[in-house]
Structure 1
Amino acid sequence: MDAPGFAGIWPIVYAFFDGRDRLDHQALLRQVEACITAGADGLAALGLATEVTKLKDSERRQLMRWLIEAVRGRVPVAITVFGATEADQIDFACEAADAGVSWVILQPPPRRPLSEDELGSFFGKVIDACPVPAAIQNAPDYIGVGLSDQAIRRLKDRHPNFLLLKGEGSAVAIRRTIDELKGEVAVFNGRGGLELPDILRAGCAGMIPAPELVDIHVGIWRAAQNGDWEEADRLYATVLPLIVFVMQSIPHLVTYGKRAAARRLGLGEVHDRGPGDLPTPFGLSLLDRLTSGLPPLL
């Protein structure tokens, strides 16, 4: 099977909460409109930036439905699949396909320890049952478990519906993965847009960042597509300090990256759901400085 041709900037939405710790529908709608207005090539949800492990199963399904309803077919949608068992993930992937998603991104199950062979077998069973193209998220630095390039290659050889990869690594590391896969799997990266121009030089199909810099990320992508690497590098340099600041860790991202997005979206107060990091006065002062020159997203 050929890779499905998805490419570009696919922001993965944050899960905002209201003052009663419920999912904030209006905040999701505003993220969707901002991303589409900025020229995003697709949208995604329920990954690490969406705080998927803090959501109840019913909330994951609700947020997925809200996202698909809000997008209204204007761009394709990818959904991350979280679940403890193969049956759990297959059930969610099938529901996502029925709802209209274009592809799914499988996360490792939460049990530990989990050997590479066990993880490969788990992914393979879910991939074979997916009714839409399947990706895996390979993020050992963030999730604590992952597959080597050789194991990813074996997964592709054994499971033809493994057509995309959401990697989370440096440009140098992701290039090794791309070389191993020989163009048979479309490789996306994440990490909040870190190294975005070099990720594209390495051969990535695109990036799945959080939405606070979607307009800049789209500008970098378009410049690269036009061969204007000088402009891509220039745009990247304007936001690199903010990217470095928010990408210190996933808890740091959902504390400060989410607030950067809220400021640009005009969302007002951000309510945190534990467990996680809470903002500090010093951290917020840094965020003020790093976002002060950015225009509203809507």
Structure 2
Amino acid sequence: MWPVLYAYFDANNTLDRQAIHAQIDATIDAGASGIVILGLATEVNRLTLEEKQRFIEWTGEHIGGRVPFAVTITGDTADAQLALADHAVDHGASSLILQPPSVRDKPESFYFDFFADVMQRVRVPVGIQNAPEYLGVGLTVQSLVALTAQCGQFQWLKGEGPATIIHSTIERLREHGSSLPVFNGRGGQELIDNLRAGCAGLIVAPDSFDWQAAIYSAFMEDDQANAQAHYERILPSIVFVMQSLDALTCYGKRIAAWRMGFDVAHDRGMRPTAFGLSCARRFAAALGPFADQRNTDR
């Protein structure tokens, strides 16, 4: 289980370094296998290049080798992605997650060639975010298998889809002889069924990460009853924050902040309503203070 960090901004609309540190410490203490940054939950499209670089630097410095960390790489040219990738590796990133360029009217072969160009020039293992629901484009299983064969650095896949679709993707990869590990996200929706489907793990935002790490731990220990009980406890909160990316970065980040002991000072995206805040407060209270939940009984 890897959390993908939120971007918090102070009252002056600049990145909040202490909030980054708080998320890193809290999620590592709760069982994070690694840390992901600059994903959709990080509001990467609202960050300048300088802010992305600063986020990478602060993350690498504060993790200090405690766990691996991966950086999601964006950019509309291979050279732009490679420049950000090099910056990430220079500051301690152990792997990268490539997103497709923002252009959406190209054939699949364009995205295949784009990923291959970047992969053949990076210095660490990479995955790709294959999320057509969220990004508008994606690669077929056949293309994924071909990309794996062509690029040795391509070592895992970040999917974004229902457990049934993820299961089909994994099955078809295996039918083609590929053992490519597949991760899902979607805030932890269908978490247990994703694991049953064969996911290697999940990459989720921090708001209920501690409970999701406990669910993963219970599932791996074949404690199905505890895993299910924890999942039923957190599912209403997951449903609330996953109504849209705006809901995630408005209310999900508040739930995480309140549970970790701080507050949101500024929004670059959607602003909360009074009713939305009351809902988020209720869900934060139900989840309780952020902590290591792996030994918590139902």
Partner of 2:133: 141
Using the TM superposition, name which of 130-139 and 281-290 deviates more: 281-290
Where 2:277 maps in the other structure, the secondary structure is helix
Q: Give the Cα separation in 2 of the matches to 1:43 and 1:244.
A: 23
**1:269 lines up with 2:264 in the alignment:** yes
**1:73 lines up with 2:65 in the alignment:** yes
Deviation sequence 1:86-117 (CA, Å, 0-9, x none): 01111211222222211100011112323211
Q: Give the Cα separation in 2 of the matches to 1:272 and 1:190.
A: 23
Query: What letter is aligned with 2:6?
Result: Y
Where 1:129 maps in the other structure, the secondary structure is coil
Q: 1:163, 1:184 within 8 Å by CA — same for their partners in 2?
A: no
Query: What letter is aligned with 2:48?
Result: K
Q: 2:4, 2:203 within 8 Å by CA — same for their partners in 1?
A: yes
1:218-297 matches, cutoff 5 A:
218-273=213-268, 276-297=269-290
- Unaligned stretches of 5+ in structure 1? 1-8
Query: What letter is aligned with 1:171?
Result: A
Q: Which runs of 4+ in 1 moved over 3 A?
A: none
Q: 1:114, 1:145 within 8 Å by CA — same for their partners in 2?
A: no
Q: Give the Cα separation in 2 of the matches to 1:187 and 1:125.
A: 22
TM-score using structure 1 length: 0.93
Q: Give the Cα separation in 1 of the matches to 2:107 and 2:4.
A: 28
Q: 2:255, 2:283 within 8 Å by CA — same for their partners in 1?
A: no
Report the CA distance between 1:58 and its aligned residue: 0.7
Q: 1:153, 1:180 within 8 Å by CA — same for their partners in 2?
A: no
Using the TM superposition, name which of 146-155 and 118-127 deviates more: 146-155
Q: Give the Cα separation in 1 of the matches to 2:180 and 2:128.
A: 11
Query: What letter is aligned with 2:196?
Result: R
**1:178 lines up with 2:170 in the alignment:** yes
Query: What letter is aligned with 2:159?
Result: G
Q: Give the Cα separation in 2 of the matches to 1:85 and 1:104.
A: 16
Q: 2:218, 2:226 within 8 Å by CA — same for their partners in 1?
A: yes
Deviation sequence 1:132-173 (CA, Å, 0-9, x none): 001000111111221222322222232222101111011111
Partner of 1:157: 149
Q: Give the Cα separation in 2 of the matches to 1:68 and 1:170.
A: 32
Where 1:137 maps in the other structure, the secondary structure is strand
Partner of 2:195: 200
**1:113 lines up with 2:105 in the alignment:** yes
Q: 2:257, 2:263 within 8 Å by CA — same for their partners in 1?
A: yes
1:52-131 matches, cutoff 5 A:
52-131=44-123
Report the CA distance between 1:210 and its aligned residue: 0.4
Partner of 2:295: none
Where 1:160 maps in the other structure, the secondary structure is coil
- Unaligned stretches of 5+ in structure 2? 292-298
TM-score using structure 2 length: 0.93
Query: What letter is aligned with 2:212?
Result: H
Q: Give the Cα separation in 2 of the matches to 1:226 and 1:102.
A: 28
Where 1:79 maps in the other structure, the secondary structure is strand
Residue in structure 1 matching 2:17, options 5, 14, 25:
25
